[in-house]
Structure 1
Amino acid sequence: MSKAPFDNTWYHRKVAGSASKPCNICFKPTSSVLITPNNKDFFYVCIGHLSDRGFCQPDAEEAARTAERMKKEEMDQEIEKVKKEYEEKQRLKKEKRKGKDKEKDKEAKSNEEEEDKKDEQAKDDKIKELTKSSDAASTEPAARIYHLNKSFYQMRLDKLRNAEIAKRNRERLQNPANFPSVPKDLP
């Protein structure tokens, strides 16, 4: 059997909303396109079909990188949230202390310092807990590289071959040298 014109590797791309066309599977309008790396073949496909295991699978390495990146972003957001929470508590405490500052004595000031240390420690503990917890709920990442299942890949190859055959046939029909000549021996 001859070598396929392209590998079973497809990149997911988005086109402008005005350039959307019907999905190749369900014929609903979509702006998502699967295209080969060498731009030999492309087709429009709905986002929902990309998560269908019967249609295609995301590239394992690329999916792992995307999952790791998303997990890191989520963790960074959580850490920022904890830090902002801590900053807000500290700001409120300082405002409260300014009002009571005149009637305080040394003992009250040392108590406040202890509270500040406890709050700081609580913040640090929350951040450590967030960084250690790697069991966060993982969502399926939107991969950019896919591999079609055998049957869908074969359909794409067949469609490309049929298009080449049709093109060759059109060229043959337009060339007058391919037709037989008129017989000259007729009475």
Structure 2
Amino acid sequence: MENVWHLRRVAENASKACWICYKPTTSVLITPNNKDFFYICAGHLVDKGFCQPDPDEAAAAVAKKKKDELDAEIEKVKKEYDEKQKLKREKRKGKEKEKDKAKEKEAQNKDDDEDTKDEKAKDDKIKELSKSKEESQADLGPRIFRLNKSFYQMRLDKLRNAEVAKRNRERLSNPSNFPSVPSGNP
């Protein structure tokens, strides 16, 4: 069995005790071939004495984090620009009011409707971005780990002991493995 473990999440109602500290957790480390798994706290995943993230995957996570920060900054700049444009439009509207109040009222109603629609659309986009940002922050950490030597050896020993116990149960359940009663006179 290879020392590669993938991080998976389970639902809150399916949480079980951490393998190390027995606190309830929803994080599970599982082998790629699904032969072994155990529940582990998020605190133990960042502990260098327990496991290390896969270097390639950790680099990808850092790159993703930088990209998310850049996207957030771009959105912020776009929002500021839109606000400045809105202020300019309002100033122009104020000047137009002095020139032609009647025409302005009709145009303002149309512009206000468009502005409110635009604002609602932007608010919806901002909410979606914040939700996706929260979801991505949960997944920002690495998802592939390698256990330290001693913990990996403990998992191997546990698997071997389980196999030995299974073989022993099979031997005990088979009556041909026991000696037979002597058939001759003493």
TM-score by length of 1: 0.74
Amino acid of the residue matched to residue 17 of structure 1? Answer: E
Runs of 5+ in structure 2 lacking a partner? 99-139
Identity among equivalent pairs (%): 71
Equivalent residue, structure 2, for 1:100 = 95
CA distance in 1, matches of 2:185, 2:149: 57
CA distance in 2, matches of 1:41, 1:102: 74
Cα deviation for residue 186 of structure 1 reads 4.8
CA distance in 1, matches of 2:97, 2:141: 58
CA deviation profile, 1:106-149 (whole Å, cap 9, x unmatched): xxxxxxxxxxxxxxxxxxxxxxxxxxxxxxxxxxx411100000
Equivalent residue, structure 2, for 1:160 = 159
Kindly report structure 1 stretches of 4+ aligned residues shifted beyond 4 Å: none
Runs of 5+ in structure 1 lacking a partner? 1-5, 104-140
Equivalent residue, structure 2, for 1:78 = 73
Cα deviation for residue 185 of structure 1 reads 3.5
CA distance in 1, matches of 2:163, 2:97: 90
CA distance in 2, matches of 1:178, 1:101: 103
CA distance in 2, matches of 1:15, 1:98: 55
Amino acid of the residue matched to residue 14 of structure 2? Answer: A
Equivalent residue, structure 1, for 2:177 = 178
CA distance in 2, matches of 1:19, 1:88: 46
Where do residues 41-60 of structure 1 align in structure 2 (5 Å cutoff)? 41-60=36-55
Amino acid of the residue matched to residue 33 of structure 2? Answer: N
SS at match of 1:57: strand
CA-atom RMSD, angstroms? 1.9
CA distance in 2, matches of 1:7, 1:167: 22
Cα deviation for residue 101 of structure 1 reads 5.3
Q: What count of residue pairs does the alignment treat as equivalent?
A: 147
CA distance in 2, matches of 1:47, 1:7: 22
Amino acid of the residue matched to residue 46 of structure 2? Answer: S
Cα deviation for residue 94 of structure 1 reads 2.2
State whether structure 2 residue 88 is matched by structure 1 residue 89: no
Cα deviation for residue 93 of structure 1 reads 1.9
Change in Cα spacing, 1:185 to 1:88, as seen in structure 2 (3 Å) is same
Equivalent residue, structure 2, for 1:14 = 9
Of Structure 1 and Structure 2, which has the larger fraction of its residues in helix? 2
